[in-house]
Structure 1
Amino acid sequence: MFHLFTHYQSTSLEQWVEALYSQLSITSPAQLTMTNLAAKLHIWVYTMDMNSMAIEKDGLFTINVDRRLSAKEQWEDFLHELCHVLRHSGNQMVMPDRYVDWQEQDASAFQLYAAIPMSMLKKLSLPEQKNEMVAFLSEEFQVTYRLANERIEQIQRRVLQGILDHEYQQFSQSQVRTYDSANWSDATRAIMNKLEQLQRKGGMADRQASRLL
């Protein structure tokens, strides 16, 4: 499957995440931890028996991570809340629902990209079978099986879309070449010349008719 990486289409958000990791010199799965990211971004992280959330006060950011969750779930919650810290502003309690929904969708997408970055994924030797691949990524990136599976399926869709776009582009280019007069057969050229003659006659007839009115 992953020999088709050349057809993978990244989004602007994914490119933003990759640029962030590059800026922070994060290049391997072992560096993807709450402690490391929080330290590099100067964010205080604590755990309590309450739902995970990001809090901003006087320009300082903190993230509470629900300690009732497993270690992998805590990491995923941290990434979701980290997106709110880095990319969003405002109090969701007073926001329109549609804006809240957009922020949550953005955070969920960020979570996938940040948990299993494509730049790191390309360096790995992956199993061929999907279930083995998901299990491998779950351990390599310390994420839940659910998130690893979701990321794999997302990549499959992007690869397929990339292939379809490439094939459509190739088809469009072939159509342009087909309609290039230099590529016409003798039969096609004869037909087009005949049509051109008829069009010229029609134009002359129209002009003669207009003089009679």
Structure 2
Amino acid sequence: MFTHYQTTPLEQWIEALYSQHGITAPNQLQIMNVAAKLNIWTYFFDMNSMAIEKNGLFSINIDRRLSAKEQWEDFLHELCHVLRHSGNQMTMPEHYVDWQEQDATNFQLYAALPISMIKQIPLPERKSEIMELLSEEFNVTYRLAAARLEQIQRRILQGIVDHEFHLHTQSHNSTYNPANWSVATKSMMDKLEQLKRKGVSADGQAHHPL
């Protein structure tokens, strides 16, 4: 299933971070375990989850009114801000704030359901069963499991199309001509075109005019 899956630089960075700190299994993906390994003070109050900086030191508050799965997802979102972003969003240009939030959303998906760990799990055939399994195995909401699975499927589809393109361009007897595509490739290209018309990339991000 994952032969043509292509990781992004952000995804590779997260995988390297986890590997560096010995985080290799889903049961290690817990707030206090990850916070301890990364030396980030984390606490729980009845207020919205947020990352806080004081005198150059960072901490994360998690809204304890949320479910355990929602708390974990909030933690990962705020963790991205701690590890990758700086500055006060209240004083930032709107487009930069939007970029940080999109980056944190992607970070959340990759960090909550690392591809290296998913590959180690026997997955059922039905999509609904896969989402249920991922939700329970990685302690995430069904919504996040569904979003990650759809992202993975798009990435695999893009990888297959890229592979087909490479084969066609490397062949001396064929050119990159839709007439030469296999039935499977034509079907995949049709799906990609549908995604483009909806304004969604292979990575699942919506594209908006600047």
TM class by shorter-chain length? 0.7 to 0.9
Out of 43, 46, 61, the residue aligned to residue 46 of structure 1 is 43
Counterpart in 1 of 2:79?
A: 82
Structure 1 position 61, deviation (Å): 1.0
Partner of 1:106: 103
Residue by residue over 1:108-164, the C-alpha shift from the partner in whole angstroms, topping out at 9 and shown as x without a partner, is 000000000011011111111000000001000000000000000000000000000
Q: Tell me which residue corresponds to 1:167.
A: 164
The equivalent residue for 1:126 is: 123
Match of 1:145 in 2: 142
- Cα distance in 2 for residues equivalent to 1:14 and 1:40: 19
Shift of the alpha carbon at 1:178?
Answer: 3.0
Equivalent pairs, count:
174
CA distance in 2, matches of 1:16, 1:142: 22
Larger Rg: 1
SS in 2 for 1:6: coil
Q: Residues of 2 paired with 1:38 and 1:159: CA distance?
A: 32
Distance 1:114 1:12 in 2: 13
Unpaired runs of 5+ in structure 1? 180-213
Structure 2: runs of 5 or more not aligned: 175-210
Amino acid at match of 1:52: S
Q: Which residue of 2 aligns with 1:178?
A: 173
**CA distance, structure 1, for counterparts of residue 113 and residue 19 of structure 2:** 14
Alignment RMSD, CA only? 0.9
Amino acid at match of 1:112: L
Where do residues 54-93 of structure 1 align in structure 2 (5 Å cutoff)? 54-93=51-90
What is the identity, as a one-letter code, of the residue corresponding to 1:48?
A: F
Give SS of 2:3's match: helix
Taking structure 1 as the reference length, the TM-score comes to 0.80
Using the size of structure 2 for normalisation, the TM-score is 0.81
Structure 1 residue identity aligned to 2:156: V
Whole-angstrom CA distance in 1 between matches of 2:64 and 2:93 = 30
Q: Deviations over 1:48-73 (max 9, x none)?
A: 11111000111211101111111000
Task: Please list, as runs of the form range in 1=range in 2, the aligned pairs for 1:13-32 lying within 5 A after superposition.
Answer: 13-32=10-29
